[in-house]
Structure formats: C-alpha cells, structure tokens
Structure 1
C-alpha cells in the first residue's frame, strides 16, 4: 500500500530529476565549448612549433607561447589599456547613436507611409554601401578623425538595426493594435503596449548583428585614419613586422567583440523572457 510520505515525496523527486538533468546539460555544453577553444589553441601551437608547411604556411606564424609572452608584456603597458578604452568609447558611442536612431526611424518606416516614401528610398540607396567605404567622406566631412570614426561606426550599426526594426513593426498582427484602440487607447498606448514590446525580438536580433558589423568597421577605420585604438596599434605592429603583437591585437579585438555581443544578447534575453521558451533559450 502506498504511504502518505511516498505520495508527497514522489512529485518532489519528479521535479528534482529534470532540474538535475538540465543543470548537467548546461555544464556539459559549457565544457564542450571550452574544449573546442582549447583544442584550437593546441592545434595552433602544434602546427607553428613544428613549422608545418602544406598548402598553408604555418611556419611564418608566431607560436602560442610567443603570442602569450607578447600579450603579457602588453598588458603591463598603459598604451594597451588606453587603446582598449579608446576603441570601447568609439564603439559604444557610435553603436548607441545607431540604436536610438535605428529604432526611431525603423518604427517610422514601418508605420508611416509618408515617411517611408520620403526617407525609404534614400535609406535603400545608402544601405548597400559598405560603411568602411565612407572613410574618405568622413575625413572630408568631419573636422576631427575621432568624429569620423564614430560616424563610420554609426553607419555600420545603423542599417542592420533599422531594417530589423522596420520588418518587426510590419510583422506585428493588426489585431493587437485594433484591440488597444477598441479599449480606448490612443497612439501612445499603441506604441507603448503593442509596438515596443512586439518588436523586441527583432530589435535585439538587429542589435546583435549591428554590434558585430560595428566592430569590423571601427577597427578598419582605426587602421586607416586612427591615432589610438586597438585597430591602429595592430596595424602599427604589422608595419614593423611585429607579428606576435599583431596577434595580440587580433585576440583583443575578438575578446572585445565577444564581450559586447554577449552583453547585448544577455540584455535581450532578460527583456524577452515573456516569450515562449524564453527561460530555455537563456541557458
């Protein structure tokens, strides 16, 4: 005969078992990701130490130990942190402006036919032009190189954000707006209760893409016309054939890009937890 204690304990055990399984799955995925990075670094060291030269010339690349030594040296210099801070200021300024302007114009393009007719053709003509191709224009247009680099970063991030928001607005079910208006809501209510919450998934998708493109362009702009920054310092190392420092710059760029993109994704997950399977995706 089943006792009362067994009846009470059974549902608890059923809840604990899936939780333990999910936690194990999370740590297993993290371990797999870490192992893939370690394996790639080990392969790099193996190929460069042994001067492997097949179709690719690994004998010309610095080894992992050489790059690690250069990174340790660079971490102890103020120039490294000054360059890192300068690049972060540029990316956050340009990306922040792009996020604000991209959201506003994306919503207006999706909801205003007049604005779409006036601004839409100009945006579509400018969108295929690579932001880095606008460096000569930025040099001529802005009084300082700093403003020009921020402008290039802004352009790089703006179009992915604007397009994502525009498509998200146009994809909203009209019944949502009709329901708000039926209950007496005005334009402000529609914007706050329908449009802004409804575009969040598409918005953060555009922000994630925009951040990646912005890093590509800010580093390229620093290499071309910068005076400080990770891109500038990486190019300077290349001009004097200091290849370990070149890889220090490449690794720094990768870490910065990964960190900022992860921050955008984390904010997006918290902002869209109301979506179905939000908690599962957050793992």
Structure 2
C-alpha cells in the first residue's frame, strides 16, 4: 500500500513539474539545438571538403557566409533590398487577403457567384503564379506593379479556396438558430459566418504567405531591380556563392518571421478555440 502511495505521489510531482511553460521552453531548446546541429554539420562537411556523391567541397563554409553577411549588414544596400521585398510582399499579400476572403465567402454563400466567378477561378487556379510573369510584363507599365501582381496571384488562390471550404463546412444549424431568433442575412454573416470561418481563413493566409514569398523572390530574380531575390541572383551571376547563401538565409528568416506573425495573429483572434492538445 505504501509503495502504491509513493508511486502516485511521484507521478503527481512529475506532472506538476511538467507545466506548459516547461514544455514550451523544452520545445524551444530542442528547436535551437536542431538548427545549431545542422549549421555544425554544414561547417564540418564544407571545411573538410567532403565529397560523398554530393559535392560539399564546392559550397562555401559557414564562416565564409557569416563574413559575407557581416559585410552586407554594414552596408545600406542590404536594408534597401530588404525594405523593397517587404513592401512588395505586404502589398500583394494584403490585397490577396482582403479580396481572397471576400471572394471565398461569396463563392461559399452565393450560388450566383459560384456559377459566374467559380469556373473562372477554377480555370486560373492551376496556373503557377510565376507563369504569369510574361502577362504581368505586358499588362503593367512598371516592373514594380507586375511583381506585386504576381505576389497577389500567388497568395489569392490559397486564401480564396480555404475561405470557401470553411464557409461550406459551417453547420447549417448555426444559421438556422440566428434566423429563428429573427436575425437578418447580415446578422448571419456577422455573427455566424465570419467568426466561424476564422480558423480556415488563417490557415489559408499561412499557406498563401508561403507561396507569395516563393513567387515574389522568383519575380525579383526575373524582372526586379531591387530586392532580396534580385540581389541573390546577381550574386550567383558574379560567382559570389557566400552572397547567394546570405540571400537564401535572409529569405528563410523573412518567411519564418512573417509566417510566425500570421500564426500568432490567428491564435490571438481565435483564442476561443480549445487548444488542449496543442499545448502538450
């Protein structure tokens, strides 16, 4: 009996020690270790000119990339490229977020919109956004507007499709309840549809932002004059491989930060959702 009691007390103490804060810090520690391990492996393989099918002896070492990164951070051009890429992504993605949600709600709620806009959206959706570059060059008078348009197209369809699916997945009982209480169509939209689709909308925003980053960098490489993508491609053309890796790392950090911001906003807006499993 004493052994059973001692075991129960030990389990209780272990569960008390394993608090959400502890789990969160443990998760952050593991993530940091995984990144450092990858960087250490990169340095090890490149510093020793390892060639096992993959030719690590041709890649710049971590120390070379850090030196190139430090040189760029001391100049003004790096920050100008950074601001230009952020301006393009925020403009294109912002327009896609607003228009994509509106069109998605219309397609999910209106049979007229589904019959008129729906076929056009489904025909255009499989076309890669980067394939729109020639059209953007012909359609817009400046490269800047064309890059923003490509970014908009890239983010629009994931947001629109996710919103449409979220609208169609709403239980009809919710709408019937509001209408039974005398609510109008706008009451249903404001009290049922918009709050109910928020998880799906933010899922589409997260996916759309990732696709938008891919396309804005590609568009900058093809027709840009400034931006992280343009500078990365320019470094490649002059055989500045450390500069190429600086651009790649910068793109990764920008995508990570912006995606994290969208996910954080989504958690704040949808904090009413149960997240017991997510915190474990």
Give the drift of 1:25: 1.4
TM-score by length of 2: 0.93
Which residue number corresponds to residue 98 of structure 1? 96
Matches within 5 A, 1:135-214: 135-214=133-212
Give the drift of 1:187: 1.3
Give the drift of 1:26: 1.3
2:44 maps to 1:46:
yes
SS at match of 1:281: coil
Change in 2 beyond 3 A, CA 1:282/1:272: farther
8 Å CA contact 2:133, 2:146 repeated in 1: yes
8 Å CA contact 1:269, 1:282 repeated in 2: no
Which residue number corresponds to residue 278 of structure 2? 281
2:37 maps to 1:22:
no
8 Å CA contact 2:85, 2:227 repeated in 1: yes
Change in 2 beyond 3 A, CA 1:122/1:63: same
TM-score by length of 1: 0.92
Which residue number corresponds to residue 247 of structure 2? 249
Which range is displaced more, 214-223 or 182-191?
Answer: 182-191
CA-to-aligned-CA distance 1:92-130 (integer Å, 9 cap, x gap): 000000000000000000000011000100000000000
Distance of 2:183 and 2:197 partners within structure 1: 19
Distance of 1:66 and 1:16 partners within structure 2: 46
For structure 2, which runs of at least 5 residues remain unmatched after alignment? 1-11
Distance of 1:19 and 1:267 partners within structure 2: 29
The number of aligned residues is 269
Which residue number corresponds to residue 3 of structure 2? none
Give the drift of 1:21: 2.6
SS at match of 1:129: coil
CA-to-aligned-CA distance 1:21-52 (integer Å, 9 cap, x gap): 32221111110000000000000000000000
8 Å CA contact 1:169, 1:199 repeated in 2: yes
Distance of 1:282 and 1:223 partners within structure 2: 40
Change in 2 beyond 3 A, CA 1:266/1:178: same
Distance of 1:19 and 1:88 partners within structure 2: 42
Distance of 1:20 and 1:76 partners within structure 2: 44
Distance of 1:140 and 1:155 partners within structure 2: 16
Give the drift of 1:276: 1.5
Distance of 2:222 and 2:103 partners within structure 1: 30
Distance of 1:86 and 1:151 partners within structure 2: 15
Which residue number corresponds to residue 9 of structure 2? none
Distance of 1:62 and 1:16 partners within structure 2: 46
Matches within 5 A, 1:221-240: 221-240=219-238
For structure 1, which runs of at least 5 residues remain unmatched after alignment? 1-13
8 Å CA contact 2:20, 2:279 repeated in 1: no
Distance of 2:277 and 2:223 partners within structure 1: 44
Which residue number corresponds to residue 119 of structure 1? 117
